[in-house]
Amino acid sequence: MLDRFNRKINYFRISVTDRCNLRCVCGMPECGIKLINHSDVITFEEIFEIVQVAVGLGIDKVRLTGGEPLVRKGIVDLVQMIASIPGIKDLSLTTNGTLLDQYALLLAQAGLHRVNISLDTLNPDHYKEITRVGDIRDVFNGITAALKAGLNPVKINCVIKKSPLEKDARDVKSFCDENNLEVRFIKEMNLESGIFSKVIGGDGGNCKICNRLRLTANGKIKPCLFSDIEYDVRVLGIEQAIYRAIGIKPASGTENRINSFSNIGG
């Protein structure tokens, strides 16, 4: 599928839940955020059907995100269902890594290819400050389990304030170099104001070559992270929702006032 700017759309990011087991200061108030009603959350059967249709229209790359995808009950079954769809060349998952120790092997066996793990610092106290409730040892155990399970590559997503030369970022880079991990630096973003930036060491945020569509945890197809536009698959049907989203995909992001990052998998 080509959009009106001739970008080939082949990448589908699916937010399987808006829930997370951390309370990161950058993205969530301490008391949590207003969550989608349980009854509105997209079912595995719906996701399976949507991915089947999307693959028929040219999608060959799927990433599962959240919130935190590993808090969704039955996530391994979902991975297995998606992996069984012929035509998917790349199946990945973005996680905070805290539950990966118990899931990495099961996910790999279910057909997951690779994983991106968020880690902004190596300092346990700073990690606790950033995540409010997280224990950095869980993430290290998760990384070890991912490597051991043969997920490949294991990438680390590191949010930076301004530059990859900041102390935390340099520490994370050295840790990655020593442990056969790829690192991607992502500048802190502001969803409401439309301040977003390119991923350093990846294609994320490069609007000119943006190849992605998103599915929110309540069943809306979004053409762009930084846009309010979304089409409800339950109202329009899957094919129509996808066609409309591709038809209106903007040249670049502007702003998003109606969703939180945790709902759309940002």
Binding site for ligand SF4 (CB under 6 A): 196, 205-207, 210, 212, 224-226, 252-253
Nearer to ligand SF4, 118 or 227 (CB): 227
Closest approach of ligand SF4 to the CB of residue 198, in Å:
8
Nearest 10 degrees: CA dihedral of 71, 36, 225, 78? 40
Helix, strand or coil, per DSSP, at residue 70: helix
Closest approach of ligand SF4 to the CB of residue 103, in Å:
27
Closest approach of ligand SF4 to the CB of residue 193, in Å:
13
Nearer to ligand SF4, 153 or 250 (CB): 250
Closest approach of ligand SF4 to the CB of residue 196, in Å:
6
Closest approach of ligand SF4 to the CB of residue 13, in Å:
9
Decide: 32 and 137 in contact? Cβ < 8 Å.
no
Nearer to ligand SF4, 99 or 213 (CB): 213
Q: Which residues of 7-26 are buried (b: 16+ CB within 10 A; e: fewer)?
A: bebbbbbbbbbbbbbbbbee
- Strand locations in the chain, DSSP E? 11-15, 61-65, 90-95, 114-118, 154-160, 182-187, 199-200, 212-215, 220-222, 231-232
User: What is the strand order of the sheet 11-15 is part of?
Assistant: 199-200, 182-187, 154-160, 114-118, 90-95, 61-65, 11-15, 212-215, 220-222, 231-232
Nearer to ligand SF4, 144 or 252 (CB): 252
Helix, strand or coil, per DSSP, at residue 199: strand
Q: For residues 210 and 223, what is the distance between their CA atoms, to the nearest angstrom?
A: 10
Nearest CA among 70, 55, 47, 232 for reference residue 139: 70
Nearer to ligand SF4, 36 or 245 (CB): 245
Closest approach of ligand SF4 to the CB of residue 209, in Å:
8
Closest approach of ligand SF4 to the CB of residue 8, in Å:
13
Nearer to ligand SF4, 180 or 206 (CB): 206
In degrees, rounded to 5, the angle at the alpha carbon of residue 136 between the alpha carbons of residues 132 and 199 is 85
Residue nearest to ligand SF4 (CB): 253
Decide: 17 and 72 in contact? Cβ < 8 Å.
yes
Tokens found for residue 36: 């989608």
Decide: 134 and 98 in contact? Cβ < 8 Å.
yes
Nearer to ligand SF4, 166 or 255 (CB): 255
